[in-house]
Amino acid sequence: MAEILSFSILYSTIRVATPLLLAALGGLLSERSGVINIALEGLMLAGAFTSAVVTHYAGNPWIGLLAGIGSGVFIAAIHAVACIQFDSNQVVTGTAINILMLGIPTLLSGALFETTGSTPQIPRANLIPNAPAVIAFALVPVIWYVLYRTPFGLRLRAAGENPEAADTAGVSVAAIRYTGVLLSGALAAIGGAYLSIGQSSLFTRNMTAGRGFIALAALIFGKWRPVQTMLACLLFGFAEAAAIQMQGVIPHVRVEYIQIIPYVLTMVVLAGFIGAARAPRALGRPYEKE
């Protein structure tokens, strides 16, 4: 048991939670502005792939990270234009982006490296194993402050809660929503970059392995609030880290039982402790200026 409750579990928790937190904070900005962002998974993949490719060519992970952010913003812009300009169904568009991002890395890596979806390995000196984690946790107070203490934050929340009122007050709901969605692309892309040029050393096909959706769950679990969302990500991270620690220690317990711990924990907490999660009122509703 002592082996389970060691110090290493703390670091492990943070490492597992970091990509979730970045994506969830991104989702928070998008969804608080009223646009459902189910595309987090795809945005993470965009960031992961682009930053690995650019780091490979440029030999500098920071340039790679910036390029990754750029790609996340670009893909998020597709989502934003579809949802805000053309009033598309936000869930459908988000899903389309997720599917799109399964294909695009395969296509591009074929052209660049003659592989189907993976990049060459990046030397260890060109990785940034810790910076994204620092960025992620530093962003929590920043986003909290912006959301609750600045005019922009007020407008963002208004666009998601009551766009009509925001519009009447002279706020451009479309501009606010664009900002929210584009920022979500940037943050989710950092989360993706953490996977490819932070924790591992290459991009492999679909390497996010569902983390974008877990981030979405953490966002809902955290009731669309930055601090609670961070706690939710840490809880998921801890559950996974604990599951990893326990796998080797307790003999004769099937892996499935240990690996369901994070999910069972989520359900128990969701059902038992947090009460109803209330989404931003105008979430998923296109706003038409009258």
Residue of the chain from 151, 170, 210, 275 that contacts other proteins (CB under 8 A): 210
CA distances in angstroms from 22 to 12, 17, 49, listed in the order given: 16, 9, 16
Instruction: Give the span between the Cα atoms of 69 and 143, in whole angstroms.
Output: 17
Residue of the chain from 244, 261, 274, 279 that contacts other proteins (CB under 8 A): 244
Closest CA to 40 of 28, 57, 55, 49: 28
Tokens 């004769």 appear where?
252
Query: Per-residue x/- mask for other proteins, residues 118 to 137, rule CB under 8 A?
Result: x--x--x-------------
Report in angstroms how near the CB of residue 244 gets to other proteins at its nearest.
5
Identify residue 192 by its one-letter amino acid code. G
- Which one of 6-14, 65-73, 155-163, 266-274 is the stretch in contact with other proteins (CB under 8 A)? 6-14
Q: Half-sphere exposure of 68 toward its Cβ, with a 13 Å CA cutoff?
A: 36
**Total length of the chain:** 290
Report in angstroms how near the CB of residue 288 gets to other proteins at its nearest.
16
* DSSP type of residue 278: -
Q: Does 86 help bind other proteins (rule: CB under 8 A)?
A: yes
Closest CA to 190 of 135, 142, 129, 130: 135
Report in angstroms how near the CB of residue 45 gets to other proteins at its nearest.
12
Q: Does 256 help bind other proteins (rule: CB under 8 A)?
A: yes
Residue of the chain from 195, 214, 239, 282 that contacts other proteins (CB under 8 A): 195
CA dihedral 178, 180, 182, 183 (to 10 degrees): 160
Q: Does 205 help bind other proteins (rule: CB under 8 A)?
A: yes
Q: Half-sphere exposure of 148 toward its Cβ, with a 13 Å CA cutoff?
A: 10
Query: 135-168 b/e with 16+ CB inside 10 Å = b?
Result: bbbebbeebeebbeeeeebbbbbbbbbbbeebbe
Residue of the chain from 204, 222, 262, 287 that contacts other proteins (CB under 8 A): 204
- Which one of 62-70, 116-124, 218-226, 275-283 is the stretch in contact with other proteins (CB under 8 A)? 116-124
Q: Does 255 help bind other proteins (rule: CB under 8 A)?
A: yes
Report in angstroms how near the CB of residue 17 gets to other proteins at its nearest.
12
Residue of the chain from 115, 126, 172, 228 that contacts other proteins (CB under 8 A): 115
Identify residue 200 by its one-letter amino acid code. S
Residue of the chain from 14, 15, 50, 69 that contacts other proteins (CB under 8 A): 15
Residue of the chain from 17, 23, 96, 197 that contacts other proteins (CB under 8 A): 96
Report in angstroms how near the CB of residue 281 gets to other proteins at its nearest.
26
CA distances in angstroms from 178 to 28, 79, 114, 166, 284, listed in the order given: 14, 9, 36, 15, 14
Instruction: Give the span between the Cα atoms of 24 and 41, in whole angstroms.
Output: 10
Q: Does 217 help bind other proteins (rule: CB under 8 A)?
A: no
Residues engaged in binding other proteins (CB under 8 A): 3, 6, 8, 12, 15-16, 19, 78, 81-82, 86, 88, 92-93, 96-97, 99-100, 102-104, 106-107, 110, 115-118, 121, 124, 195, 199-202, 204-207, 209-210, 241, 244-245, 247-248, 254-256, 259
